[in-house]
Amino acid sequence: MLPLIPVFLVGAVSAPLIKKIARGTVKSSVKLVLDARRVAHEINEDLSDIAAEATAEVFAADLQEGSEMPRQTVKKARSSTATT
């Protein structure tokens, strides 16, 4: 027969281990989210740089063609799909 171990003793012994596992899981998740945000920010900066370079090239091409004033770009308004 198996010796009877009080349930509270099992809980008391396993609680620190469970706490360490939960803490490690949360800590890893937070690190993963922070890394993802950093990468997304870098990608956004790269895309902004590419857009600025393309805009500068278009203006330079317009000036070389001899137009008096480069064409101006108009920012399109975003369409709202949210319902209120």
Q: Phi and psi for 17 in degrees, rounded to 5?
A: -65, -45
Using H for helix, E for strand and C for coil, what is the string for the chain? CCCCCCHHHHHHHHHHHHHHHHHHHHHHHHHHHHHHHHHHHHHHHHHHHHHHHHHHHHHHHHHHCCCCCCCCCCCCCCCCCCCC
Q: What does the mean pLDDT of the chain come to?
A: 82
pTM of the model: 0.54
43-79 pLDDT, tens digit per residue, is 999 999 999 999 999 888 888 877 666 566 556 666 6
Query: What does the block give as tokens for 79?
Result: 């369409």
